[in-house]
Structure 1
């Protein structure tokens, strides 16, 4: 019969009364004797495990807590989180039992929550009752107990009740922001938080998409955005255009062509704030398709915006306009018949700019018109050695540089002075490591090249916040060792796929998925060595992550899911801070693609020739080839195979020479061309990284399946066009798989077909 008394985990009384009583005792002892409370937590775990083993069929006899946890984890009885809770209790219990000086109330508080998690899990899995379980509550000292005020104060500080909640740290509201921005002399870091509040968390929260600072407006440019601003080439080119026209009395139309989120609003707001003398003469339409009456469609709206630049009015036009416009909308506008005006001059200008061609169009100017294409101003650069990004690196520098004008760094120093310590602070310190910064930027570039993401400055800064700020921000002393690992930057970087398209792409670049000899050796070492201290010092080149891993120095400390958590963390940390290790597990196809991309953009003929040969091999292997220069025309499933001779003739007339060592404007895919014999008829193949990766696998013997053909539909269509260049009208090779014989069908000197065995 259930007791009417309500106490910690009393809902377990009918399911496992011994465990319930131990839970009650550990809570009673928590303030009076923390060490004994920890031991009671271990006894509780043992009782629960015994109950689990009794409920599970065919469980063997197991004597130690370690063996029981290990066995049940292997049998997948536990979830990942529950096993971590058991291991946390086991490790703390060992310390309390063997260290006579150990009396850590902080550790006891951590275990109190882990015991609650286990109790709820056990009840939900093994109880047939349906009790209402209350949400977890932090234990409080009983009034009758004689607890010194200093201890009570320490506990409240550790708990950080509500103060570290990131929803409560922001001081910028829509009502106060304007007032704050008007005061240009305000201090860099406003110190107005309550005791225990985190300034660093507040400042980093401004990087999020959900913050007030994330709202882009072409008319406003805040002090914070001013600090975060990084000059880009498109900005400098636009300034050059404006300077050229500043004293001109003629009309001028500047077209900023791009797509959503590419930074047009930020750029215009920056110029309004910083260089008004260049832009004051211009009327700005940041989104012309939504700027007027909702009853008008996009074409009607643009016609109203651009009427002064129509053929009818352009001769007397003195207006100056900057129009930010989507490339697709512009294409439709110049190819649409308009009711009141014609735009032949504008159409000719856009066509002459080659905006919609394979050529690179960054800046084009002709008389009254200027055009800037955001599409060909990339957020990264390519070099002979690979890709870099001065833009993203500069943004990272803004956030992490140790300087007196950096509000983030000042916030870190203020928090450290106030003894405010969370995983946010640890993650910030880790990302101050220059090589870690480089690795993060390289991963961002990979998402752009491999996944074709468009990552604006705002999206990038939101990403930085995502990898620094865990879901729950609490005092570091109240965080379990496993929770520290989970909340560490390397795991936030690769484990938060649901948060954004960038984070989803990051999860697919996780180094734990790489196959490399150095990783295999590390797996062997972790499974055979009993002391991992030497491994940590050998592989990990940063003290901050060593502090995350050091509590787990021996293999005997971890089992199942817990070992996997440690191993995954070890690999990710090493990848981010060990250059030699990172190079050893680098993806070769990606490195080769970037090298070839650079060669095609600079016109390096030797490298281009090698690439053409590489793709030629892939083409023949995709369709199959019975012998040199012959390619199969039908599928392998048919009774016999037909092959024709195909002499591929590459063309490089479309490529241009560029001697720059660093390319900031370039075509982001590789364009191949083939011609038919001596004719001028050409067909083109555009190769991006996903297609190159697939063709690399085909070269190595991979046979493409139906999904591959669907994903690479443009390549399949290209091959069909290429097959028309073959000699099938003159000769064909016939292969009979059953007897392994080849026959040739060809025309003789009199035009008749001859069928002979090869």
Structure 2
């Protein structure tokens, strides 16, 4: 007897009977089972109208109209509306035999009926029965093996929901990497030529296993400067900082003098990975070096970080530097290094090292990616960005290549081999669908664009590890199940675009990207899409015109039809449609992109390139913003007191920009640069200089001010460094020689100035 009957038959016998009949014929006649499921939904909906005294069913209304009415009324929550719409839409498709996977659809509706039944029971009865957990219907005993039966109609379906059970069991009981570190290391050393280990039990997904290795919680995520696994070797991407370090090491190969190489940066910027790579792949370059990966690790529990460093670097103290032959690579965080060179050390002094570091401009706004002298080399990881600037916008060779490593279609790629193995075994989940979408070049470019935008706008540091974890997050959904057993709405909810923009709680990266969701953009192009979907009947042509990949079209087309969706169901569709258009249609994405963000990156490029015409234009734009921020009674005058005061005072302000701090980069593609625009101004005597560091949030605010926006108190609090800059800039004005006074009462201006004899002159303007 059906599990539905246990808790439904006493409150709605007819609905329970339809559920029972549906389950009985599910294997023998799935199309008839779908019809019974639709009848079940109609009985439930009709009874809701009977039980809700304050609402009346529309006269001669269809199931679509009734569900729409209850949804608008608020009687149905969004999840039940989705379930009812799934039953209704699948029932409509059943009217076209041969076009659908009927057995898979019947399985899908069986679960949706269970969801509807629970909601109906909990809302309309006070009984306290324990509702059993959901179980997929088992085939009659006289039927052939379920797996063989299903494969005849749906090749990718396996026995009785076995994949969902297997994966849930693995999620709960099996670690993501079940090998111990020792076993994993042995595997890496002995089976380096084996790209994909085929050792999973039947029903387990190889692609899911491989993608999970990208997560932060995976054993592979642990960085160790002394171990570089085969998996990390495959994912390794050469970076400029690595190539520059290799050049330094090659230059120092024959040196007999002491050499200290400082790798300076912050947590998570790849120092450990780089050192492990060199030890494994370029051992001849580092064989003469002692490598210290964490300068805060002490050789003795009685020594703190500074004492440990002093011991490690004693050969490069002022006392021994001329006679040492030590060769050391020291990976160290910027803050620790600054503390070291500004501290006093027992028994040693480090004035020559200190002088070298300050000459390198490591702690200044200047670019100091690499600096060297006779004994020292320094590499600043902070000046090696994870993306490049070009005249046509930002790109990231690093992130793009990492993405290619995971998605490219060749026999050296364990992820791709895992996909093929799963396809051979009939395993097809949203992990596989999302992975295939990510293989699309346009999608990859858009994802990388979003990553760069997040870095610029939110000041994120996204390491290789964080980026790989991000890939896992947007490929692996919350629930793993065969795609053909999922409702059309669940397919959309668990698709890559919605994992990308709707899972802000998963990581800082996804939280930043959620703020870039195209559904929040105000754009005529997005408005046109929404209007067309609401007014045009041929949704197929709208999808075909805007979505540029077949896999994404396949997710949307089952829900096509003007009279098919309403309320939350339509919301899911339109959100997914806009996001898929953004990810697969480069022209659309460009049209709806943040123009202020693009302009900021263009100006950043111009400043690093030293393009004087563009730099001059930018200085003029900032001047306009400064005068509008402070307020200006007339050309070249700026108010120096608050608007709320009884009268306003203004001084003459001749801004004197300087470009002495700009070091032009002649390369067309910029790999090392500061991610902010630095302006500098001098006083009238050229004696004092102040700088303004403009990041994207400040640039965005100043752009709005130029367009007429009036900054409020919160803006001033958020832009505290800019307010401090304005205070300094005001001191460059000429208020000692001349001032304007504006009296609000009579709306008149008066000037106060000194004549040739030093007397004050007060006259009306």
Task: Name the CA distance, whole Å, in 2 between partners of 1:262 and 1:390.
Answer: 16
The residue correspondences of 1:586-665 to structure 2 (distance < 5 A) are: 586-665=593-672
Q: Which residue of 2 aligns with 1:716?
A: 723
- Measure how far apart 1:31 and its partner are: 3.3
Structure 1 stretch displaced more, 692-701 or 738-747 = 738-747
Out of 111, 118, 123, the position equivalent to 2:116 is 118
Q: Which residue of 2 aligns with 1:159?
A: 161
**Counterpart contact for 1:160–1:474, Cα < 8 Å:** no
Out of 672, 686, 690, the position equivalent to 1:683 is 690
- Measure how far apart 1:164 and its partner are: 4.2
The residue correspondences of 1:312-711 to structure 2 (distance < 5 A) are: 312-711=319-718
Task: Name the CA distance, whole Å, in 2 between partners of 1:232 and 1:110.
Answer: 48
Q: 1:37 to 1:350 in 2, by over 3 A?
A: same
Q: Which residue of 2 aligns with 1:308?
A: 315
Q: 1:114 to 1:150 in 2, by over 3 A?
A: closer
Q: Which residue of 1 aligns with 2:738?
A: 731
Q: Which residue of 1 aligns with 2:267?
A: 260
Question: 2:22 matched to 1:26?
Answer: yes
Q: Which residue of 2 aligns with 1:40?
A: 36
**Counterpart contact for 2:205–2:427, Cα < 8 Å:** yes
The residue correspondences of 1:163-182 to structure 2 (distance < 5 A) are: 163-165=166-168, 167=171, 172-182=179-189
Task: Name the CA distance, whole Å, in 1 between partners of 2:417 and 2:148.
Answer: 30
**Counterpart contact for 1:285–1:291, Cα < 8 Å:** no
- Measure how far apart 1:676 and its partner are: 1.1
The residue correspondences of 1:59-74 to structure 2 (distance < 5 A) are: 59-62=55-58, 63-74=61-72
SS at the partner of 1:470?
coil
**Counterpart contact for 1:158–1:478, Cα < 8 Å:** no
SS at the partner of 2:721?
helix
- Measure how far apart 1:565 and its partner are: 0.9
Q: Unpaired runs of 5+ in structure 2?
A: 151-156
- Measure how far apart 1:263 and its partner are: 0.5
Task: Name the CA distance, whole Å, in 2 between partners of 1:313 and 1:664.
Answer: 37
Residue by residue over 1:599-628, the C-alpha shift from the partner in whole angstroms, topping out at 9 and shown as x without a partner, is: 111111100011111111111111222222
The residue correspondences of 1:112-261 to structure 2 (distance < 5 A) are: 112-143=110-141, 146-150=142-146, 154=150, 156-157=158-159, 159-161=161-163, 162-165=165-168, 167=171, 172-261=179-268
- Measure how far apart 1:80 and its partner are: 2.9
SS at the partner of 2:372?
strand
- Measure how far apart 1:383 and its partner are: 1.0
Task: Name the CA distance, whole Å, in 2 between partners of 1:50 and 1:742.
Answer: 77
Task: Name the CA distance, whole Å, in 2 between partners of 1:534 and 1:98.
Answer: 21
SS at the partner of 2:296?
helix
**Counterpart contact for 1:403–1:409, Cα < 8 Å:** yes
Q: TM-score, normalised by structure 1?
A: 0.94
Out of 72, 81, 84, the position equivalent to 1:83 is 81
Task: Name the CA distance, whole Å, in 2 between partners of 1:20 and 1:646.
Answer: 83
**Counterpart contact for 2:454–2:512, Cα < 8 Å:** yes
- Measure how far apart 1:130 and its partner are: 4.0
Task: Name the CA distance, whole Å, in 2 between partners of 1:114 and 1:602.
Answer: 60
- Measure how far apart 1:192 and its partner are: 2.1
Out of 92, 107, 110, the position equivalent to 1:109 is 107
SS at the partner of 1:395?
helix
Task: Name the CA distance, whole Å, in 1 between partners of 2:24 and 2:324.
Answer: 85
Task: Name the CA distance, whole Å, in 1 between partners of 2:743 and 2:92.
Answer: 73
Task: Name the CA distance, whole Å, in 2 between partners of 1:95 and 1:372.
Answer: 63
- Measure how far apart 1:480 and its partner are: 1.5
Residue by residue over 1:14-53, the C-alpha shift from the partner in whole angstroms, topping out at 9 and shown as x without a partner, is: 6555444443443344334433332332233233334444
Q: TM-score, normalised by structure 2?
A: 0.94
**Counterpart contact for 1:88–1:482, Cα < 8 Å:** yes
Residue by residue over 1:637-675, the C-alpha shift from the partner in whole angstroms, topping out at 9 and shown as x without a partner, is: 333322222221111111112211011011110000111
Q: 1:127 to 1:690 in 2, by over 3 A?
A: farther
**Counterpart contact for 2:455–2:462, Cα < 8 Å:** yes
Residue by residue over 1:480-506, the C-alpha shift from the partner in whole angstroms, topping out at 9 and shown as x without a partner, is: 111111121111111111110001011
- Measure how far apart 1:256 and its partner are: 0.6
Q: Unpaired runs of 5+ in structure 1?
A: none
Q: 1:129 to 1:629 in 2, by over 3 A?
A: farther
Task: Name the CA distance, whole Å, in 1 between partners of 2:390 and 2:103.
Answer: 56
Q: 1:48 to 1:639 in 2, by over 3 A?
A: farther
Task: Name the CA distance, whole Å, in 1 between partners of 2:489 and 2:703.
Answer: 40
Task: Name the CA distance, whole Å, in 1 between partners of 2:744 and 2:20.
Answer: 77
CA RMSD of aligned residues (A): 2.3
SS at the partner of 2:411?
coil
Residue by residue over 1:678-723, the C-alpha shift from the partner in whole angstroms, topping out at 9 and shown as x without a partner, is: 3221111000011101111111111222221111111111111111
Q: Which residue of 1 aligns with 2:153?
A: none
Task: Name the CA distance, whole Å, in 2 between partners of 1:335 and 1:56.
Answer: 76
Task: Name the CA distance, whole Å, in 2 between partners of 1:307 and 1:191.
Answer: 52
- Measure how far apart 1:326 and its partner are: 0.5
Task: Name the CA distance, whole Å, in 1 between partners of 2:628 and 2:705.
Answer: 7
**Counterpart contact for 2:263–2:329, Cα < 8 Å:** yes
Q: 1:296 to 1:531 in 2, by over 3 A?
A: same
Q: Which residue of 2 aligns with 1:95?
A: 93
What is the total number of aligned residue pairs between the two structures? 752
Residue by residue over 1:729-751, the C-alpha shift from the partner in whole angstroms, topping out at 9 and shown as x without a partner, is: 23332334454333333334443
Q: Which residue of 1 aligns with 2:276?
A: 269
**Counterpart contact for 1:158–1:475, Cα < 8 Å:** no
SS at the partner of 1:378?
strand
**Counterpart contact for 1:312–1:342, Cα < 8 Å:** yes
